[in-house]
């Protein structure tokens, strides 16, 4: 009765008002969207906000769809009310103070939903189904994408046999959405344009010296098609033939290598004659991260592109394996361990060679899963590693008879999958200690595709200072995050994941206790470790080590979906949109039905993308 009575006054004032002007501002102020969106840490729940720029009509539809979170017989017991107000456990913490004006607005909306006629309820729930399916959404069209540095190196290799990797000298690319391939980060700075110019001169000059470029009848037409990945237009052919007459093959090649038609690749076109070439480009860059070869361009020229057959042919080429090596390096962030520094007094086994060995172990591990037609979810559960002498020292194992020998970790090591390997454990640690927060964040972002919001401005991120009279483990020190209302909302979602890795030090070696050092590392105290962790948002997600967490993740649909999303993001150069949901659902179904064969996922993605362009989408 108290619940209903408290709502009467609110409803009498706001009866004519809608969701957009009553409850929606409350939920926005409470930062519910920060977790409850497509890539948020609460994306698996039934509450998922639409885009911030959504139309009023869509916001109203969303507000009415919240009826699914309402107990219409007992409105006061609705999960929509109890969780954000702290009346029941909520991973996001307290968002709306009980008995406040905001709480009253929430109560009023819940009561309104509870009284909705059945027909309106059914219509409201249809909104969720439409959103989940992506029905009615149009995919944004991207016509051109700049070659990434990795693609640039591949293209000049395949075009001119140049293996010098000239893009290594270009200004470094930023990681956006987890990858360096994203079109939002592919601007053309003056430094990059100058680097393109210098590289073009050097590449063309060396190609002539090596005999890779030779004068011949029709050179402009044949080289132009390969360089631009489509036939030259009449005006282009005329212009380059004039250059050929003036300076020969070197001048033509040097000029073409600086042309936007070379530096940018076609992703779409409104010209029907170019659509087969766009499809060919999508196939080759999806699978090779490089240009179409002559066979693919010839098929496009005849407008007889057997997409599935061509995709299988490209997938069987070594270049497809090299492309997935690059995907692995970016997805698992090899750069972090290669660029990290560790306290040499505490971790003398870590050096540049050890860091390289960590990346090579992970590369071989993923390559074997992908190309041996194994279940790719073994990425998280396979108890094998690839040992070098440096890694053997870190893992406390005998030196292998040959470099990167495949070995099985002992059960007592509690290592399994990529989370038990030194790459992950070292790259997500501080120079002198572990970092449960960084390790939990990696799992959320790289393996669950969930974005954790940054800390609010002005928040004190300092942890309690260690002292000899009060030594603390990392778990005890991070308790301040979990006890603070400001911090707990996010740290509850990441720190407990990292606690399960605390038996592995800052370079991936196993430890049985936390060694706390004092007085210039001359005095130490060993503290027992509590490695119990949990993954908030999943049922039965308690674990104590990497092997147990790997088993949980491997059978979790969110993790399986994330692998599909990560390959999609790397390949397409953008985040997925609502319009991509049908494709992603189809790819995920194909991935699962193949028993998680990664080649099937690659093939499906390549064919999907090429056919979309062939059909004008």
pLDDT in tens, 278-297: 999 999 999 999 999 999 99
From CA 300, how far away is CA 277, in angstroms rounded?
A: 6
- Tally the residues of the chain: 617
Contact in structure between 549 and 497 (CB atoms under 8 Å): yes
Backbone angles phi, psi at 552, to 5 degrees: -65, -50
- What sign has the CA pseudo-torsion 89, 90, 94, 100? negative
d(CA 205, CA 411): 57
Residue 260: how many other CB atoms lie within 10 Å? 10
Structure tokens, 536: 């908030």
**373 φ, ψ to 5°?**
55, 40
- How many other CB atoms are found less than 10 A from the CB of residue 523? 10
pLDDT, tens digit, 9 for 90 and up, residues 316-331? 999 999 999 999 999 9
Q: Cα 275–277–280 angle (5° rounding)?
A: 115
C-alpha neighbours within 13 Å on the C-beta side of residue 484? 16
Residue 274 has pLDDT above 60, yes or no: yes
Supply the DSSP symbol for 387: E
211-249: pLDDT as tens digits: 999 988 889 999 999 999 999 999 999 999 999 999 999
pLDDT reported for residue 242: 96
In this prediction, what percent of the chain has a pLDDT beyond 70?
Answer: 94
| pLDDT band, very low/low/confident/very high, at 531 (cuts 50, 70, 90) | very high
| Cross-strand partners of 523 | 518
What local confidence, expressed as pLDDT, does residue 6 receive? 43
Does the pLDDT at position 12 exceed 50? no
What whole-number distance in Å separates Cα of residue 70 and Cα of residue 76?
A: 9
Whether 311 contacts 283, CB under 8 Å: yes
Highest average pLDDT, of 20-29, 44-53, 190-199, comes from 190-199
pLDDT score recorded for residue 24: 92
Evaluate whether 560 touches 394 at the Cβ level (below 8 Å).
no
Confidence of residue 17 (pLDDT cuts 50, 70, 90): low
Tokens of 51: 């885009």
* Long-range Cβ contacts of 73-77 (<8 Å, 24+ apart): 75/3, 75/4, 75/107, 75/110, 75/111, 75/114, 76/3
Span 551-559, average pLDDT: 96
The tokens 């040959």 sit on which residue? Answer: 402
> Is residue 525 helix, strand or coil?
strand
Q: What is the pLDDT of residue 617?
A: 55
What average pLDDT score do residues 574-603 get? 96
Can you tell me the mean pLDDT for 374-390? 97
Q: Are 283 and 606 in contact (CB under 8 A)?
A: yes
pLDDT of residue 1: 41
Is residue 287 within 8 A of residue 315, CB to CB? The reply is yes
Q: Please name every residue paired with 542 in a beta bridge, in sequence order, or none if there are none.
A: 534
Give the per-residue pLDDT at 15. 41
Q: pTM, whole model, 2 decimals? A: 0.92
- Supply the pLDDT for residue 13: 37
Across residues 46-62, what is the average pLDDT? Answer: 89
> For position 558, what pLDDT does the model report?
94
User: Could you give the CA distance from residue 23 to residue 17 in angstroms, rounded to a whole number?
Assistant: 10
Report the C-alpha gap between 173 and 189 in whole angstroms. Answer: 11
Three-state secondary structure readout of 122-177: HHHHHHHHHHHHCCCCCCCCCCEEECCHHHHHHHHHHHHCCCCCHHHHCCCCCCEC
Confidence check: pLDDT of 252 > 50: yes
Structure tokens at 601: 């996922």
Rounded (5°) CA angle 564-544-348: 90
CA distance linking residue 501 with residue 486, whole number of Å: 25
Determine the Cα–Cα distance for residues 64 and 182; give it in Å rounded to an integer.
Answer: 35
Residue with tokens 């030259």: 232
Confidence of residue 479 (pLDDT cuts 50, 70, 90): confident
How far is the C-alpha of 31 from the C-alpha of 397, rounded, in Å? 48
- What's the confidence (pLDDT) of residue 2? 44
pLDDT score for 10 = 40
Return the higher-pLDDT residue of 468 and 161: 161
Is the per-residue pLDDT at 171 higher than 60? Answer: yes
- Is residue 285 within 8 A of residue 265, CB to CB? The reply is yes
Per the CB < 8 A criterion, the answer to whether 273 and 157 are in contact is no
| Cα distances (angstroms) measured from residue 390 to each of 20, 346, 354, 387, 486 | 59, 16, 5, 8, 42
Percent of the chain at pLDDT > 90 equals 75
Q: Which residue has the higher pLDDT, 311 or 617?
A: 311
Task: Report yes or no: 437 and 498 within 8 Å, Cβ to Cβ.
Answer: yes
How high is the pLDDT of residue 614? 59
Element (H, E) at 527: strand 523-528
422-443 in b/e form (b: 16+ CB < 10 A) is bbbbbbbbeeeebbbbebbbbb
Q: Which pLDDT value is given to residue 490?
A: 75
Element (H, E) at 528: strand 523-528
pLDDT, the chain, mean: 91
**CB-CB contact of 257 with 203 (8 Å):** yes
Counting Cα atoms < 13 Å in the Cβ hemisphere of 124 gives 20
pLDDT for 90: 83
What is the DSSP track for 516-548? EEETTTTEEEEEE----EE-TTSTT-EESSHHH
Two tokens, residue 439: 């390790």
Which of 3-7, 581-585, 590-594 is the most confident on average?
A: 590-594
Assign 16 a pLDDT band (cuts: 50, 70, 90).
very low
pLDDT in tens, 55-74: 999 999 999 999 999 999 99
Instruction: Sort 300 into a burial class: Cβ within 10 Å, 0-12 / 13-18 / 19+.
Output: buried
Beta bridge partners of 145: 265
Dihedral (CA of 20, 24, 29, 31) sign: negative
- Among the ranges given (184-188, 202-206, 381-385, 459-463), the one the predictor scored with the smallest mean pLDDT: 459-463
Inform me whether the pLDDT recorded for 181 exceeds 80.
Answer: yes
């Amino acid at each position: 009765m108290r619940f209903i009575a408290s709502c009467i006054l609110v409803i009498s004032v706001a009866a004519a008002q809608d969701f957009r002007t009553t409850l929606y501002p409350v939920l926005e102020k409470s930062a519910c969207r920060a977790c409850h969106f497509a890539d948020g840490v609460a994306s698996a729940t039934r509450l998922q906000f639409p885009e911030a720029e959504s139309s009023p009509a869509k916001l109203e539809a969303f507000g009415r769809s919240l009826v699914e979170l309402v107990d219409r017989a007992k409105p006061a017991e609705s999960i929509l009310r109890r969780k954000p107000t702290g009346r029941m456990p909520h991973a996001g913490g307290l968002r709306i103070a009980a008995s406040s004006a905001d709480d009253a607005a929430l109560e009023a909306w819940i009561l309104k939903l509870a009284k909705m006629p059945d027909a309106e309820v059914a219509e409201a729930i249809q909104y969720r189904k439409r959103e989940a399916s992506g029905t009615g959404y149009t995919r944004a069209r991207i016509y051109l994408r700049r070659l990434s540095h990795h693609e640039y190196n591949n293209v000049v290799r395949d075009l001119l046999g140049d293996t010098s990797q000239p893009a290594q000298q270009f200004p470094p690319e930023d990681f956006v959405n987890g990858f360096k391939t994203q079109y939002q980060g592919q601007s053309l700075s003056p430094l990059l344009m100058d680097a393109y110019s210098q590289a073009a001169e050097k590449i063309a000059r060396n190609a002539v010296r090596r005999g890779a470029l030779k004068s011949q009848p029709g050179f402009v037409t044949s080289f132009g098609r390969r360089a631009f990945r489509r036939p030259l237009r009449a005006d282009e052919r005329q212009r380059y033939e004039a250059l050929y007459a003036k300076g020969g093959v070197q001048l033509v090649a040097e000029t073409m290598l600086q042309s936007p038609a070379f530096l940018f690749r076609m992703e779409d076109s409104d010209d029907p004659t170019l659509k087969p070439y766009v499809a060919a480009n999508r196939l080759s860059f999806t699978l090779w991260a490089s240009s179409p070869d002559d066979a693919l361009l010839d098929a496009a020229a005849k407008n007889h592109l057997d997409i599935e057959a061509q995709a299988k042919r490209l997938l069987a080429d070594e270049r497809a394996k090299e492309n997935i090596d690059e995907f692995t390096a970016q997805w698992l962030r090899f750069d972090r361990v290669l660029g990290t520094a560790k306290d040499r007094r505490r971790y003398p086994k870590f050096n540049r060679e050890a860091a390289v060995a960590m990346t090579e172990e992970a590369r071989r591990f993923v390559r074997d899963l992908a190309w041996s037609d194994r279940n790719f979810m073994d990425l998280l559960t396979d108890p094998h590693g690839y040992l070098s002498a440096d890694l053997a020292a870190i893992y406390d194992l005998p030196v292998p008879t040959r470099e990167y020998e495949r070995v099985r970790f002992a059960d007592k090591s509690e290592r399994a999958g990529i989370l038990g390997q030194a790459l992950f454990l070292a790259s997500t640690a501080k120079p002198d200690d572990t970092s449960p927060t960084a390790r939990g964040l990696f799992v959320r972002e790289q393996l669950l595709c969930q974005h954790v919001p940054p800390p609010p401005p002005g928040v004190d991120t300092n942890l309690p200072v260690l002292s000899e009279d009060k030594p603390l483990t990392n778990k005890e020190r991070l308790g301040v995050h979990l006890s603070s209302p400001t911090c707990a909302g996010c740290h509850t979602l990441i720190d407990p994941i990292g606690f399960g890795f605390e038996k592995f030090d800052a370079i991936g070696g196993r430890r049985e206790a936390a060694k706390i050092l004092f007085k210039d590392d001359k005095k130490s105290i060993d503290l027992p470790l509590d490695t119990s962790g949990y993954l908030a948002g999943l049922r039965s997600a308690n674990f104590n080590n990497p092997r147990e967490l790997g088993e949980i993740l491997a059978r979790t649909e969110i993790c399986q979906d994330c692998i599909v999303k990560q390959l999609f993001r790397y390949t397409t150069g953008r985040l997925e949109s609502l319009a991509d949901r049908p494709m992603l659902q189809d790819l995920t179904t194909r991935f699962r039905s193949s028993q998680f064969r990664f080649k099937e996922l690659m093939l499906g993605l390549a064919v999907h993308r090429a056919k979309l362009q062939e059909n004008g989408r």
